[in-house]
Homo-oligomer: A and B are copies of this chain.
């Protein structure tokens, strides 16, 4: 367990740490006392049927959802819904390699799968809030993986689903991309097999990590059009040094690796012996599949191929020159699209 000030209320605002007790994991490991960081917005009604679950992406937490996606001016409106954002295991806020008790900390942290997160989230919602059904599950990227997992694993609980910029079954290209991300960290001598004393010892690896995100996280056109100028940077180098690199170097390497391992293996077809059609065929949620048109690693066609296997679904392509990291909601044209799609989805009777 090491101290990293980034994973704090100072940087992430209000959230609660809720213990769901012992979590046995798909890969055979155990988290003896699994704690999930939970941020809620709005009020759970008496019928407990106005809840929305938001799942989080790689390196992201409830913070970006609170700051950009949730509010009275958005489809995710806390005046109407009880919105629960649960930070994923390994996020650095929930139980993660860097903050786990010694017996499972750092290099000893067990392998976690997307399914483990969803099991943990379901337990938390049921036992802590008494929530049995969700009006909507929505998440981007790894959050989309969790969204699909929810819709396949608990079809009776998920009325609507909105996987944004992610897939139900991780693609081989995505596996290789994530491997390149992993390699940037694990090849750093400072990582030391996961037994560093501070993330600052892995700053070179984390900086290279940011460099790979620069290549794939944004689109070729983002760089060509110098869209970063809108964020008040003078050069792409300044944008990297002032935005993307500090974003990642603040984080914990083992936490990122925990999430990366999970990301690489996201696959709802694990429920159906590898049959993706059968797995997606289980979904009964009204589903809007929402890829981003300029996404370099979750291309629209991959998302469309999955959408076409979901009976109750529609494809809603989000246009954003930022590409995958359009998820940061930086482009002024991004949130209006997200809000329009989610509002329509939430307005659909199910």
Interface residues of chain A, those whose CB is within 8 Å of chain B, are: 171-177, 179-180, 183-184, 187-189, 204-205, 208, 211-212, 214-216, 218-224, 226, 236, 296-297, 299, 301-302
Contacts and interface: CB of A to CB of B under 8 A. Distances in A.
Contacts of A173: 215, 218-220, 222-224
A219 B179 CA distance: 16
A215 B302 contact: no
Nearest to A228: B172
A215 B302 CA distance: 16
A33 B223 CA distance: 39
A323 to B, nearest CB: 10
Q: How many identical subunits does the complex contain?
A: 2
A188 B208 CA distance: 12
17 contacts: A171-B224, A172-B223, A172-B224, A172-B236, A173-B218, A173-B220, A175-B236, A176-B236, A179-B211, A180-B212, A183-B208, A183-B211, A187-B187, A187-B188, A187-B204, A216-B216, A221-B301
A174 B187 CA distance: 23
A211 B176 contact: yes
A222 B179 CA distance: 17
A299 B222 CA distance: 13
